[in-house]
Every structure is written in structure tokens, then in C-alpha cells.
Amino acid sequence: MSALNLAQSLIRIKSISPNDAGCFEVIEPELVSLGFKVEKIKELNSETLLAKFGNKGKIFCYLGHTDVVPSGPIEEWSSHPFEANVVNDELIGRGAADMKASVAAFIEALKNFLATCSKPNFQIWVMLASNEEGEPQDGKINTLIESLAANNEIIDYCLVGEASSTSTVGDVLRVGRRGSLSGNLKLIGKQGHVAYPTKVLSPILEVGPIISDLQAVSWDQGNEYFDPTSFQISNIDSGTGATNVVPGHLNMLFNFRFSPESSHESLKERFIQILEKSKCEFEIEWTLNAVPYLTKKTNLLNIIQSALKKVNSKEAVIDNGGGTSDGRWVSPSGAEVIELGPINKTIHQIDEKISLSDLDLLTRIYNQILVETNSDSS
């Protein structure tokens, strides 16, 4: 199955997080035919496919995911999001860029590489999650990574196929990510009639100064590798639906994307100090989604840059922006983690797409990375 055909087959599967929904059944025979040993590991409501080739040398792992976010209104798409149609030399569908085409490109690259190098000097793993996009309570790959590490199976090089590119495939490499700390704040006031202001305490009025203070904080200045820590509010909910009732509660969802210059503990402490100025009582549920990680100048970076020079005739820009990825679970074990994948312009959007030329280019880049890894390991 070609990269295009495999990508189309995967996109046609409606694998909304945390459900793989059958993608692994399509991928597994492709890998088995190449000599990979494949196992599927259940974790709560999710599943991970782990395929291994070889048993000597450093472990090179391609990390990806088969789950996608919902399509949004189907009627707004120019082509059905789960039909994987090619229109004007572009493959359109949910997951085309994030990241089913990337998975297909790597498997095609494996076929090309192993056809000319049947016994590489390193081990090759393919690890695919079904819940990269979804919530932690449905299961993440960190449990598997920790289990492998406990068995002394440590990933050396981890290539994450996320959509890292900006204008052309391979123009940007993501070598790190900021941490992510989320919170669910409940402000507790006192409900009552709007005509009796001395007998009520409005959490809506109280949250205004809190938000103003939070916006005014400079959490840190970042450093040479990371942008400063940022704070955003994603949702505020309050009210009874009646115009003559002051509500007694307000809920606010918020998130920090933090650099290594701040810890999640220090952010919690400073956030609470601001809340304590309010007349309202409060409760907070915290979720640490990810800690910052960074892969500096390493063998893997040199390998990938060398491959890009040969395929693209130039090296990539080094970056650590964007959201979180499953690379956050692999980095703590000591792996060198770098993200390289399709152009991210349309990810999570209506008419998500990848051009056929980009799919071919990504396949050639992945193949050259395998070639360079083999040369480096000899």
C-alpha cells in the first residue's frame, strides 16, 4: 500500500480520541510484512500499538498517533472529512496533517529503507497512540514508557511525526515544548436577590479584579530556548439564567503554558496569592498536563539536519512552540526527542489537508533520516 493509499485508508476511519477505531488493524499488516513484531497495549479507554524491528544497537522510535479531533460542521467542508478525497493534488480530511499522513509517510519510508538495508545497525520502533488529542483520564502512553524503562528498554532517539513545519515541509524542527498546567477554579459567593446588594456576594463581580491582576503578572521572562510563561482563560460559567438573581458560584477554566523558568508549584502559589485578595472563598482542581522539555544539540538533531540538507538543501529552524505532544512522556527517560512532520497550517481546521507533493517530500525526508541514523550507528 503506497503512502497515499495508506493515508486515505486511515483518514476514512473516524478515530475520534480516545478510539483507534480500526486504524491499527490497517497498519499492523503493513509493519508485520516488513518483519516487525507488533503488540497492542490497552490503557484505560485507549490503546497503543508498539512495533519493534531488530534487537541490537540504539533504539530509534517513531512516535505518532491515530486519533483525531472532531471534524466540526461537515457541511462547512469542501470535501467530506472522512472520505479522504484528493482535490487539486491535495489530500483533504480530518487527520490529513495531524497526523495520519505522517504515519503513512514513515511506514512508506520504512519500506524503502529496509528494501536496501535489511539489517540496520540500530533498532527501529513504531509507537502509535490512540489518545494523543484526548483527555488524560482515558489513558496516555506515559504508563507504557515507564514500563519499558523499568524493563531497561530505553528509547535513544525519538522522532515525533507531529505537524511541525510552517511554510515548507522540514523548515522547522521542534526540539522542546513548554509545560502545561490547567486549573478549574470555583469561586464561591452568596446567592440572593439583585435588589439587596448587601446580602449577596457576586462571584462575577469578584472575578473581574482577579482577571485584571492575572493579566498584569509577568510570570517570567523565558530564556534563550523558551518564550515566557503565558496565562489564558478558556471558559467562564456562572449565573442562574434569571435576571434578578445574583449567582452563588462561578467556574473558570484556565491554563498556563510555562517555561523552565517557572515551576508548576510556583505558578500555583502565585495564582492563589491573587485569589486570596477576593472576598470569595475558592476551590481549585489542578491538572499538570506536561512539564517543559528540551533537546539541545544532540546526535539526533545532527542526523535530522544532515538529512534535511540532502533532501531540502538546507537545515531547519529550531523551535519549541506550539501545544503539547506525546514527546513529553518520552523525554524524561533521557531520549533525544525531535518533532518533524507536515505543514501545520490547517490542523484541527475545516478542510485540513496535505499536498501530495508534501506527502512525497516527507516520505523522502523520513527515509533519509533512517539512512543517516544507520550511518551514524555503524
Q: Return the C-alpha torsion angle 68, 80, 72, 138, nearest 10.
A: -20
Distance CA 246, CA 160 (A): 49
Quick one: CA torsion of 347, 7, 29, 370, rounded to 10 degrees? -70
**In this structure, what C-alpha cell is assigned to residue 29?**
499488516
SS3 content of the chain, % helix, strand, coil (to 5): 35, 30, 40
**Which amino acid, one-letter code, is at 118?**
S
Q: Active site residue: 98, 132, 326, 372, which one?
A: 132
b/e per residue 255-286 (b: at least 16 CB within 10 A): bbbbbbebebeebbeebeebbeebebebeeee
Q: How far apart are CA 46 and CA 141, in angstroms?
A: 9
What is the rounded distance in angstroms from the CA atom of residue 61 to the CA atom of residue 77?
A: 34
| 132 annotated active-site | yes
Which residues make Cβ contacts (< 8 Å) with residue 298, sequence separation at least 6? 336
Long-range contacts of 252-256 (CB under 8 A, 24+ apart): 252/184, 252/185, 252/187, 252/207, 253/182, 253/183, 253/184, 253/185, 254/182, 254/183, 254/185, 255/180, 255/181, 255/182, 255/183, 255/231, 256/179, 256/180, 256/181, 256/182, 256/219, 256/229, 256/230, 256/231
Residue 339 annotated among the catalytic residues of the structure: no
**Any alpha helices (H) in 52-135, and if so which ranges?**
101-116
The answer to whether 129 and 162 are in contact (CB under 8 A) is no
From the candidates 20, 30, 47, 67, give the one annotated as an active-site residue.
67
Determine contact, residues 55/41, Cβ cutoff 8 Å. no
Catalytic residues: 67, 132
